[in-house]
Amino acid sequence: MSLLELKNISRIYASKFSAVSVEALKKITIEVEKGEFVAIMGESGSGKSTLLNIIATLDEPTAGDLYIAGKNISGISKSGISKFRRENIGYIFQDFNLLETLNVQENIELPLVLSNINPDEIEKRSEEVMKKLRILELKNKYPYQISGGEKQRVAIGRAIIINPKILLADEPTGALDSKSSTMVLNNLKEINEQGQTVLMVTHSLIAASKAKRVLFIKDGIIYNQLFKGSRSNEDFYELISYTLTVMNEKEE
Ligand SMILES: Nc1ncnc2c1ncn2[C@@H]1O[C@H](COP(=O)(O)OP(=O)(O)OP(=O)(O)O)[C@@H](O)[C@H]1O
């Protein structure tokens, strides 16, 4: 069984004020295995954020089924869904979303504060995460004292401290310069190599070329997918770039 399964997922946004509704996702079927690193690419408005929000259990599909680790998400009660999300889904935002009044270590520990885990165990886990991401020396700093790339690495720490089944990233390098992007992408690649399943929405060819598979979405459907296989980052970059060009040329 796949770690993540979407079966014929559709999402229609109905407008309260007009008869026009938007079909943002059209019967999307995707399977993701444990340990994969998948990038999702597509033009603005193609449905990427809608897809990520549904997988994050932040939004509900209009039709279709979503399974995470074999569990049918539509079978979880409204009250159970935030607990499920807290325990299973890590999420990284483009603009980090750190709390400015907490230091790096406190930001990373935040998802565990609501749990029953004892404070010594929480500290041990946050130190492990900071070592893994090579940000231990930042532990007492506040967000305003660190760079954008460092903030995003803290956000990765906050996302993975719960040992999520899936780590979702929405444009994780979108607000970063190329040096910071490289550091963040290296962190994501390393934690994926240690077994973390990662799904990343990105417009960046460099970011996508670090993934093991790229899904291309166009007008709410999966247009194509590419597997990296044994290709180098450079060769995969060229192939992704070519696919995007062809996809975006084919306007009917
Ligand atoms: N809350 C909403 N209400 C109505 N329509 C929406 C809503 N959210 C998204 N849409 C529409 O659904 C379609 C898909 O939007 P979505 O945000 O998923 O695209 P995207 O690929 O993530 O775009 P971007 O790269 O610009 O973030 C678009 O036509 C968008 O206008």
Q: If you take atom 31 of ligand 1, which residue's CA is the nearest one? A: 45
Ligand 1 centroid to Cα of residue 235, in Å, is 31
Assess whether the C-beta atom of 14 lies below 6 angstroms from ligand 1. no
**Residue 221 Cα, ligand 1 centroid: separation in angstroms?**
13
pLDDT of res. 208: 97
Dig out the tokens for 181 from the structure.
Answer: 């992007």
**Cβ partners under 8 Å of residue 53, min gap 6:** 59
Q: Is the pLDDT of residue 251 over 70?
A: no
pLDDT band at 113 (very low <50, low <70, confident <90, very high): confident
250 contacts: CB under 8 Å, gap ≥ 6: none
pLDDT, averaged across the chain: 94
Assign 3-state DSSP to the chain and report helix, strand, coil percentages, each to 5.
40, 25, 35
Q: Name the band, by pLDDT with cuts 50, 70 and 90, for residue 205.
A: very high
Mutation test residue for ligand 1: of 10, 15, 16, 22, the one with most atoms within 8 Å of CB:
22
Is it the case that residue 252 has pLDDT exceeding 60? no
User: CB-side exposure of 27: number of CA atoms within 13 Å?
Assistant: 0
224 C-alpha to ligand 1 centroid (Å): 20
Distance separating alpha carbons of residues 147 and 167, to the nearest angstrom? 22
pLDDT digits (tens, 9 = 90+) for 131-171: 999 999 999 999 999 999 999 999 999 999 999 999 999 99
Global pTM reads 0.94
CA distances from 74 to 63, 146, 171 (A): 10, 40, 27
- Cβ atoms of residues 200 and 192 within 8 Å: no
Q: Which atom of ligand 1 is nearest to the CA of 51?
A: 18
Structure confidence at residue 19 (pLDDT):
77
